[in-house]
Amino acid sequence: MSQLRPALLAVALTLAIATPAQAAAGPAITVENGRTQPVFSYADAVREHVYVESGVDSDADGRPDRVRVDIIRPKESGPGLKVPVIIDESPYYDNSGRGNEAERKVYDSAGNVTKFPLFYDNYFVPRGYAVLNVDMLGTTRSDGCPDIGGKADVLGGKAVVDWLNGRARAFRADGTPATADWTTGKSAMIGKSYDGTLANAVAATGVEGLETIVPISAISSWYKYQRSNGVVYSYDYASWLADYIDTDPQAKCQAVRDRMDAEDGDDTGNSNAFWAERDYLSGLLGDASKVRASVFVVHTVNDLNVKPDNFSTWWDALARRGVPRKIWVGQYQHVDPFDFEGRRDVWVDTLHRWFDHWLLGVRNGVMSEPRADVQTGPTSWITQRDWPAPLAARLPLRPSADGGLGLRPAARGATASFADVAMDEADMIADVGTAKPGRVAFTTGPLPLDLRLSGTPTADLTVRLDKPTSNLTALLVDFGDAARVDWRRGQGITTLTEEDCHGESTAADDACYKKVVTNVANRPAEIVARGWIDVQNRASLSDPSPLPVGTFGKVRWRTLPQEYTFAKGHRLALVVAGTDSTYSEEPGTGANVTLDLAASSVSVPFVLGTALTDVPGNRAGFRGPSRVELPEAEPEFSFF
């Protein structure tokens, strides 16, 4: 019996080894070292297009809008080899283009795409994925009218996921039905800006089959994109953007644009049903509680196009729901992680492992790594357990009558006043030691140590007005020379002539893209955090309540989030002003604003580490004991 066991074991091992070898004789996705391998020909891939029926009629022509879907997939894919899908749905394929090099689709005589923008097709198709470039409804070769985050935008993309799972119809150009018999039905959505916004929106519907999304610099609430607590950034923006992305004749969708202008509530800045339809946190079409997909968020804290409260509130909502997630937080402006200097290879590999894990079930450890990658300087990154930094705790900084900013409240009855006039940020922070009628400013002395801000500061002000309302701006400013990412120039990057390649190429579609370097500048000051509010929206975004004239009232709101280190020896400042003309087209209300200093503060999430110490003899220094006991951190997911 003891001699028989080795013989049986040898037979079993032979059978075990032989079975995969037989299976490998046919087309198969290959995994090595936790990553799918490029075993399929990119040049021979199937390139085709279909039109998916959406179920919405946004152009009111009596027919359901059809969504144009351009497909590239391995030649071997079909009923015998089903592959997962990566979707980039975009309104930009025939206007601004995609990526740093503004690539557009290029078509052959049969109407199929021969050049797919970006590297996703070049890299992932050889590894056993299908890549779909989807024209958002109302753009490029899709039917309909764009409605800027509304029903058509959302349900058009959802219909594509439904079609991949047999729940929607699609047709070829000749009108014959098209079925997706070549896919597992498991899909991902990815993209930057509007493309990533569509990924958020479709995920918020809870559609089955969408396994993961990768929203990059993406909107989670169109109200947040165009408003801040009642303050309007720009007027009639939705209709302007709809006109920009729609290359059809003007007349086709004019009625849709007119309706958006009538419904957007620009005259008040309040939230209403128009914005609720376009809110993916808790809106009419979907919300974070319905998200089934895992989420890999990428955003930059200096993105003042899609402002970073769009990612921070979305991230918090997903965390409350326990959604599997990962995040990269950068320092640039509106920049794709493919163009973060020194991170391109890291990005491609991380994305590769993310898709392999969520779409193919590959066990590669991507979910065991620290959840957050955070840029802490022009070329420096750290990883940490989560974002914001788990050890961040809120420290209330308080203004005083002598222009200081410290830990102790001002004397009771101390006030400071300014007028709500339209003023740009450069004027707001200039000459902070000099009185200006449109702002008040408070500064610390030289900081005794480095202070890292990680998260979202909160402005907590008590004000009195001589008119029913006023716009308020709160700025946190770092005064001190330092080399910082120059996100104002080229959004923080300069594009070089040298290229590198990620994926396989053809004569029509190469996988090579120009490298970039980070723009760095030494500046004497940097606005670190910004926040705006219309005082009458202090309690509700949809139901305004004017502040009784001559009466002090509490105004508390969150600024935009940040990730920033104030260097030792620098000064930290709080500037409070009226209307910020740098980011809002609103005129100032002209109200005189009186700030109750004793009842006002800004709460800043600093990372615990070295204790703050007093700065003896400096009237503007931190006032308090030699060692500061930091207050208990606020609950991680509180909203104001």
CB 190 within 8 A of CB 216: yes
Please indicate, yes or no, whether residues 115 and 71 belong to a single structural domain of this protein. Answer: yes
Please indicate, yes or no, whether residues 408 and 379 belong to a single structural domain of this protein. Answer: no
Please indicate, yes or no, whether residues 357 and 473 belong to a single structural domain of this protein. Answer: no
Identified catalytic residue from 59, 246, 303, 580: 303
Handedness of CA 103, 107, 108, 112 (dihedral sign): positive
334 catalytic residue (yes or no): yes
Residue 569 belongs to domain with CATH number: 2.60.120.260
Last residue of a domain, one of 368, 384, 400: 384
Which stretches of 120-164 are DSSP H helices?
A: 120-124, 151-164
Residue 52 pLDDT more than 90? yes
584 catalytic residue (yes or no): no
Name, in order, each residue with C-beta under 8 angstroms of 494's C-beta and a sequence gap of 6 or more. 516, 517, 519
CB 583 within 8 A of CB 309: no
Residue 363 belongs to domain with CATH number: 3.40.50.1820
Residue 202 structure tokens: 């479709």
Residue 505 lies in a domain: no
Backbone φ and ψ of 447, nearest 5°: -70, 135
Residue 511: pLDDT band with limits 50, 70, 90: very high
As a whole number, mean pLDDT of residues 394-409 equals 96
Tens digit of pLDDT for each residue in 220-278?
A: 999 999 999 999 999 999 999 999 999 899 999 999 999 999 999 999 999 999 999 99
Residue 231 lies in a domain: yes
Residue 12 pLDDT more than 80? no
Please indicate, yes or no, whether residues 275 and 166 belong to a single structural domain of this protein. Answer: yes
Residue 561: pLDDT band with limits 50, 70, 90: very high
Residue 310 lies in a domain: yes
Output the CA torsion 448→450→454→457 (10° steps): 30
Whole-angstrom distance, CA of residue 136 vs CA of residue 189: 13
pLDDT at res. 4? 39
Please indicate, yes or no, whether residues 243 and 347 belong to a single structural domain of this protein. Answer: yes
Identified catalytic residue from 334, 352, 502, 570: 334
Which stretches of 298-381 are DSSP H helices?
A: 309-321, 344-360
3 vs 149, which has greater pLDDT? 149
Strand locations in 400-492, DSSP E?
405-406, 415-419, 439-443, 451-455, 458-465, 471-485
Domain that residue 352 falls in: 36-384
Residue 579 structure tokens: 């209307």
CB 353 within 8 A of CB 33: no
CB 73 within 8 A of CB 100: no
Whole-angstrom distance, CA of residue 402 vs CA of residue 399: 9
Which stretches of 402-511 are DSSP H helices?
A: 425-429
Give residue for tokens 């802490």: 376
* 15 class by beta-carbon count within 10 Å (0-12 exposed, 13-18 middle, 19+ buried): exposed
Residue 115 lies in a domain: yes
Please indicate, yes or no, whether residues 131 and 227 belong to a single structural domain of this protein. Answer: yes
CB 75 within 8 A of CB 344: no
Residue 591 lies in a domain: yes
Tens digit of pLDDT for each residue in 128-169?
A: 999 999 999 999 999 999 999 999 999 999 999 999 999 999
624 vs 372, which has greater pLDDT? 372
Residue 25: pLDDT band with limits 50, 70, 90: low
Please indicate, yes or no, whether residues 193 and 98 belong to a single structural domain of this protein. Answer: yes
Residue 628 pLDDT more than 50? no
CB atoms within 10 A of CB 569: 14
Please indicate, yes or no, whether residues 475 and 534 belong to a single structural domain of this protein. Answer: yes
Please indicate, yes or no, whether residues 314 and 233 belong to a single structural domain of this protein. Answer: yes
**How many Cα atoms occupy the beta-carbon half-sphere of 532 within 13 Å?**
27
Cis upstream peptide for 388 (omega within 30°): yes
Whole-angstrom distance, CA of residue 318 vs CA of residue 508: 40
pLDDT at res. 13? 33
Domain count, the chain: 2
pLDDT at res. 615? 30
Average per-residue pLDDT in the chain?
A: 91
As a whole number, mean pLDDT of residues 80-89 equals 98
Residue 604 pLDDT more than 90? yes
236 catalytic residue (yes or no): no
The counts of H helices and E strands in the chain are: 11, 32
CB atoms within 10 A of CB 147: 24
Question: What percent of the chain stands above pLDDT 90?
Answer: 90
Please indicate, yes or no, whether residues 353 and 422 belong to a single structural domain of this protein. Answer: no
Residue 286 lies in a domain: yes
Please indicate, yes or no, whether residues 264 and 369 belong to a single structural domain of this protein. Answer: yes
CB 74 within 8 A of CB 27: yes
As a whole number, mean pLDDT of residues 1-18 equals 37
User: H or E element: which one contains 195?
Assistant: helix 194-203
Whole-angstrom distance, CA of residue 183 vs CA of residue 567: 52
Does residue 23 sit in helix, strand or coil? helix
pLDDT at res. 421? 98
Last residue of a domain, one of 384, 417, 433: 384
Letter for the amino acid at 88?
D
Identified catalytic residue from 54, 193, 239, 470: 193
pLDDT at res. 1? 41
Residue 627 pLDDT more than 90? no
Name, in order, each residue with C-beta under 8 angstroms of 399's C-beta and a sequence gap of 6 or more. 405, 410, 416, 440, 442, 574, 576, 595, 597, 600, 601
Please indicate, yes or no, whether residues 544 and 599 belong to a single structural domain of this protein. Answer: yes
The DSSP result for 577-596, as a single string, is ES-BTTT--PPP---EEEEE
As a whole number, mean pLDDT of residues 11-38 equals 63
Does residue 101 sit in helix, strand or coil? coil
CB 345 within 8 A of CB 28: no
Residue 147 lies in a domain: yes
Last residue of a domain, one of 347, 368, 384: 384
Residue 10 pLDDT more than 80? no
8-state DSSP, 276: H
Residue 26 lies in a domain: no
